[in-house]
């Protein structure tokens, strides 16, 4: 199994090569998750067990607090290739725990090793029926009542519900204010608390997901993560830490589709020769290769910049990577389905599963439109290109007789 580190080693350090070797060893065990018989829940549980056994959750819940973006990308590239289900459980574990790493109390941070080991699973509950892309519209409330808070509200499309035992829940605090008047705040909430109802949802992709209803849920003050009003910043910083890895998961899924298509077109004979020898089929493969390389380069540039501590300048590169890689992966997988003909749309075909699995990546952790908005804003906010000297402006007088 090829990983981007193989032909793009310049983006990685020596520790990443050891991780890549380990990921290759682990791939068959993770792939077996999808062959577990029974209901989806059985495969979700098998994915949790396989990831825990492999020790991979330590990459999304690092005890030192700092996520290694390139290691995370390597993991998600492998997981996307063998099991998009395991990939989503893995990544959302990181989203759930990251606010603790950023702002958790000592007692909250002391819980992180259990998540790094995969003994406990977390969720990240931001989205609501009326607050999707517009995070500021969150209506879930946390009423301060002296000893703690009482939470009421609805959360929608929350990944890992069904496998998680706890969630970072974002709510607007009523009855207390931050110095800046901000109220959005994160809470670390056990999902078996009285007043919580979890309702499973079914996505087109293999992906544990559900809705969360909170009715008079009492949590102690110690459940608050950071200060009142820190929630918006914690949510955005968490998404920023993981967004580039969505692109890496897309690369893994796209590469798998392309590999499946390559094997198919070299063996399937039509008009007396393998499909691969038909010029239009070769053109499809070439387009896939160009898209895949572009996606990989965008992802690795952004991950490298994040690890180098590029800060705000990485935000735009990360959005470009997420947008470019997920959109490219969608095109690659669509072409792979086309190359399989009727077999590509039969339920259970690998490319059919990938066709469903890739779709949510263009929506979650900031839709493609939101990434375009971020990129566009950064472009016009930055220094404008200096074209004056090329135009002959800026102090050098043009010839007056028109001879120049």
Ligand X SMILES: Cc1cc2nc3c(=O)[nH]c(=O)nc-3n(C[C@H](O)[C@H](O)[C@H](O)COP(=O)(O)OP(=O)(O)OC[C@H]3O[C@@H](n4cnc5c(N)ncnc54)[C@H](O)[C@@H]3O)c2cc1C
Q: Which is nearer to ligand X, 125 or 257 (CB)?
A: 125
E strand map for 67-163:
122-125, 141-144, 148-159
Active-site residue set = 365
Tell me the closest approach of the beta carbon of residue 88 to ligand X, in angstroms: 7
Tokens of 71: 């290691």
Residue with tokens 């996606």: 295
Residues near ligand X (CB under 6 A) are 92, 124-127, 132-133, 157-159, 203, 207, 209, 360, 363-364, 367, 369-370, 373
Tell me the closest approach of the beta carbon of residue 180 to ligand X, in angstroms: 23
- 144, with CB counted inside 10 A (0-12, 13-18, 19+), is middle
Report the candidate in 51, 117, 58 with the shortest Cα–Cα distance to residue 89: 51
Q: Which is nearer to ligand X, 248 or 261 (CB)?
A: 248
Tell me the closest approach of the beta carbon of residue 25 to ligand X, in angstroms: 29
Q: Which is nearer to ligand X, 133 or 266 (CB)?
A: 133
Q: Which is nearer to ligand X, 23 or 358 (CB)?
A: 358
Alpha-carbon distance of 237 to 168, in angstroms, equals 14
Sign, CA dihedral 64-67-68-74, equals positive
Per-residue burial over 351-388, b = 16 or more CB atoms within 10 Å of its CB, e = otherwise: bbbbbbbbebbbebbbbbebbeebbeebeeeeeeeeee
Tell me the closest approach of the beta carbon of residue 133 to ligand X, in angstroms: 3
Tell me the closest approach of the beta carbon of residue 178 to ligand X, in angstroms: 22
Q: Which is nearer to ligand X, 4 or 93 (CB)?
A: 93
- Residue 37 Rama label (left phi>0; alpha psi -120 to 50; beta): beta
Give the CB-nearest residue to ligand X: 132
């Amino acid at each position: 199994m090829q990983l981007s580190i193989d032909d793009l080693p310049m983006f990685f350090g020596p520790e990443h090569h050891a991780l890549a070797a380990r990921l290759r060893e682990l791939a068959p065990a993770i792939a077996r998750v999808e062959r577990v018989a029974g209901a989806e829940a059985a495969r979700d549980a098998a994915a949790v067990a396989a990831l825990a056994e492999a020790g991979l959750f330590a990459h999304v819940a690092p005890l030192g607090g700092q996520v290694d973006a390139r290691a995370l990308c390597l993991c998600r590239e492998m997981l996307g290739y063998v099991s998009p289900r395991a990939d989503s459980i893995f990544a959302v574990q990181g989203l759930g725990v990251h606010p603790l790493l950023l702002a958790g109390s000592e007692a909250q941070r002391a819980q992180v090793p259990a998540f790094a080991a995969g003994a406990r699973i977390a969720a990240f509950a931001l989205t609501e029926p009326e607050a999707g892309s517009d995070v500021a519209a969150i209506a879930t409330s946390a009423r301060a009542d002296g000893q703690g808070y009482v939470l009421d509200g609805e959360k929608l499309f929350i990944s890992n519900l069904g496998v998680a035992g706890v969630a970072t829940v974002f709510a607007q605090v009523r009855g207390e204010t931050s110095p800046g008047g901000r109220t959005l705040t994160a809470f670390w909430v056990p999902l078996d608390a009285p007043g919580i109802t979890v309702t499973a949802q079914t996505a087109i992709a293999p992906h544990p997901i559900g809705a969360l209803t909170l009715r008079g849920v009492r949590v102690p003050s110690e459940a608050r993560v950071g200060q009142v009003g820190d929630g918006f910043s914690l949510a955005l910083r968490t998404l920023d830490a993981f967004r580039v890895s969505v692109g890496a998961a897309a690369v893994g899924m796209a590469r798998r589709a392309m590999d499946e298509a390559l094997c198919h077109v070299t063996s399937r004979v039509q008009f007396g020769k393998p499909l691969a020898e038909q010029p239009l089929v070769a053109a499809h493969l070439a387009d896939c290769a160009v898209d895949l390389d572009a996606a990989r380069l965008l992802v690795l540039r952004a991950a490298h910049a994040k690890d180098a501590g590029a800060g705000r300048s990485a935000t735009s590169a990360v959005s470009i990577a997420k947008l470019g890689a997920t959109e490219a992966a969608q095109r690659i997988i669509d072409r792979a389905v086309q190359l399989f003909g009727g077999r590509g749309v039969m339920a259970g075909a690998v490319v059919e599963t990938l066709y469903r699995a890739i779709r949510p990546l263009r929506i979650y952790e900031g839709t493609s439109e939101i990434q375009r908005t971020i990129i566009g804003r950064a472009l016009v906010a930055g220094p404008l290109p200096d074209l004056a000297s090329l135009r002959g402006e800026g102090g050098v007088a043009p010839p007056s007789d028109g001879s120049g």
